[in-house]
Amino acid sequence: MSFSSDPSITPHQLPTRLFEINETFGKTIFTTTLPQGTKYCAVSHVWGPVVNDYPAFQPDVPWPVPSSSELKVKFIVDTCRKLGYKYVWCDILCIRQGKDAPAKEEQLGEMYKMRQYYGKCDATIVFGSSYSTFATSWDVVDALLTTWEKDRNGEQPETIKQVWLGLGDIDTAVGGKGGDQLFWRGWTLQETVLPPRLLTSEGTVMRVETFCELIDWTYAALGKRVLDNHDSTLPSYEWIHPGAGVVNDKGWWRVSQSLRLAFSFKNTPLDPLQALAVTAYREISPKHMKDTLFAAYGLIDSKWYVMDDDKYTLDDVWRLTVDKYIQAQDIAPLLAMAVTDTDHRTWAAGRAKYMGTVVPSAGKWLNSTGMRVVSSIAEFCFSFACHS
Q: Per-residue DSSP letters for 96-144?
A: --SSSHHHHHHHHHHHHHHHHHHHHSSEEEEE-SSTTTHHHHHHHHHHH
CB atoms within 10 A of CB 223: 17
The number of domains in the chain is: 3
CA-to-CA distance for 310 and 330, rounded, in angstroms? 27
Q: Is residue 368 part of a domain?
A: yes
Q: Is residue 2 part of a domain?
A: no
Same domain, yes or no: 56 and 154: no
CA-to-CA distance for 90 and 18, rounded, in angstroms? 8
Same domain, yes or no: 144 and 239: yes
20 membership: H or E segment, kind and range: strand 17-21
pLDDT tens digits, 204-230: 999 999 999 999 999 999 999 999 988
Same domain, yes or no: 104 and 219: no
More confident residue, 153 or 362: 153
* pTM exceeding the 0.85 threshold for the entire prediction: no
Q: Is the pLDDT of residue 33 over 80?
A: yes
Task: Count Cα atoms within 13 angstroms, Cβ side, for 13.
Answer: 14
Residue ending a domain, choose from 127, 148, 179: 127
Q: What are phi and psi of 29, to 5 degrees?
A: -130, 155
Reduce the DSSP state of residue 22 to 3 states and report it: coil
Query: What confidence category does residue 283 fall into, taking pLDDT thresholds of 50, 70 and 90?
Result: low
Residue ending a domain, choose from 99, 127, 155: 127
More confident residue, 313 or 4: 313
| Segment 86-90 mean pLDDT | 98
| Segment 184-195 mean pLDDT | 91
Least confident of 9-18, 86-95, 371-380: 371-380
Same domain, yes or no: 140 and 111: no
pLDDT tens digits, 111-131: 889 989 999 999 999 999 999
Beta-bridged to residue 57, according to DSSP, are none
Same domain, yes or no: 246 and 138: yes
pLDDT tens digits, 309-323: 777 777 777 778 878
Residue ending a domain, choose from 127, 152, 185: 127
Closest C-alpha among 353, 278, 292, 296 to residue 322 = 353
Q: Is residue 8 part of a domain?
A: no
| Segment 132-154 mean pLDDT | 96
Q: Is the pLDDT of residue 279 over 60?
A: yes
Is the bond leading into 59 cis (omega within 30 degrees of zero)?
yes
Same domain, yes or no: 22 and 37: yes
Closest C-alpha among 211, 204, 206, 207 to residue 163 = 211
CA distances from 112 to 34, 175, 203 (A): 22, 28, 29
Which residues constitute the domain of residue 310?
268-387
Same domain, yes or no: 65 and 150: no
Sign for the CA dihedral angle at 360, 366, 367, 370 comes to negative
The confidence score (pLDDT) of residue 316 equals 78
List alpha helices for the chain, DSSP H.
Answer: 70-82, 91-94, 101-120, 134-149, 157-174, 187-193, 208-223, 252-264, 272-279, 289-296, 314-327, 332-338, 352-355, 368-387
